[in-house]
Copies of this chain bind each other. A is one copy, B any other.
Amino acid sequence: MTVSLKDVAERAGVSIKTVSNVVNNYRHVTPAMRARVQLAIDELGYRPNLTARHLRKGRTGIIALAVPELGNPYFAELAGSVIDVAAEHEYTVLLDHTGGRREQEVLVSQGFRARVIDGLILSPIELETEDLLGRDQDAPLVLLGEREYDLPYDHIAIDNVAAARTAVRHLLDLGRSTIAFLGARTDRVNEPSHLRLRGWRAELKAAGLPAPDSLIAPTGGWDHANGADAMNQLLDSGVTPDAVFAYNDLIAIGAMRVLSERGLRVPEDVAVVGFDDITEGRYGAVTLTTISPDKQTIARLAVRSVVNRLLGTGDPVGNGSRELRADFRLVERESTLGRRRGGH
């Protein structure tokens, strides 16, 4: 059923290796010979067995991408970009999601279906530095996102502190002064690593405003429901901010729903800024002002980092870690500016 090099070789009356040479476009093959072999290949419909090739070469041509949750459009969109960029480099993407659970993240970082992948792009949530210390995988690892590690792996992210400050500044410029933060981590010890929260604090301080904990609404997760819960909790606690900066767009949108339910207008009563720039934010009843990370660049940097390490090119210091930065920009929409007259 399945046709191998051997079959083609027999048909063309040459050796197996010659067929292999033709398939791999090696030099030192006469055009006549090439044509003859190619004919046999076409006639038999030969296609290389990648498993065998990879066993021999020690590479599989597959890189894994592990994100917390595919249901979060940010990660789904990012995954789409990674798949496309990987394809440009002739790599295929094996996708996994960790649910943001440390246990799963460790599992993935340690081996992930051992040795079937050449490299790994991981977007961790709960993973800790020590989880990666004992890693003896030869497959290159690239880390994505907000977390910071002092480890010899490339890390790709936007400048989260600067981005958060930009968002808060935008709200300050609009004359808001009581700016809540929605979506802080509560389950981790090293809260300092929460860069967006740090940016929120820094910008408020720079403006001479207080940044009390009462304005911080923690969440257990990062989706609509968590945003709604956090907003309710904040309002129930007696605090009524005139602006909200959310950890991500899903939380922001969940919060906006609650504001609407409680009769508060966005942005007149409460202005809202999110983070991620997912498509969803562009089509609500009130479109969402948000920080837009350059997902294309993030995907490109991540794939390139893995591929370069595999090829041994690029960074001469093969083991050093690098901080690779992607751009971001503030996209101003109705949740802070209000709806422009004239409709569409």
Contacts and interface: CB of A to CB of B under 8 A. Distances in A.
Interface of A: 1-2, 45, 47-52, 54-55, 60-62, 69-71, 73, 76-77, 79-80, 83, 92-97, 111, 113-116, 136, 138, 223-224, 228, 232, 253-254, 256-258, 260-263, 279-280, 282-286, 343-344
How many of these chains are in the complex? 2
B343 A262 contact: yes
A344 B95 contact: no
A263 B77 CA distance: 32
Contacts of A73: 71, 73, 76, 280
A233 to B, nearest CB: 12
A321 B213 CA distance: 61
Nearest to A223: B279
B138 A2 contact: yes
B224 A279 contact: yes
13 contacts: A48-B114, A50-B114, A70-B70, A70-B77, A71-B73, A71-B77, A80-B97, A93-B94, A93-B95, A223-B279, A224-B279, A224-B283, A232-B344
A262 B61 CA distance: 51
A228 B283 contact: yes
Nearest to A138: B1
A39 B115 CA distance: 22
Counting chain B CB atoms within 10 Å of each CB, the highest count among A45, A114, A232 belongs to A114
Nearest to A227: B283
B47 A343 contact: no
A263 B285 CA distance: 11
Contacts of A54: 51
Nearest to A257: B283
A95 B254 CA distance: 29
Contact of A92 (B76, B113, B282, B344): B113
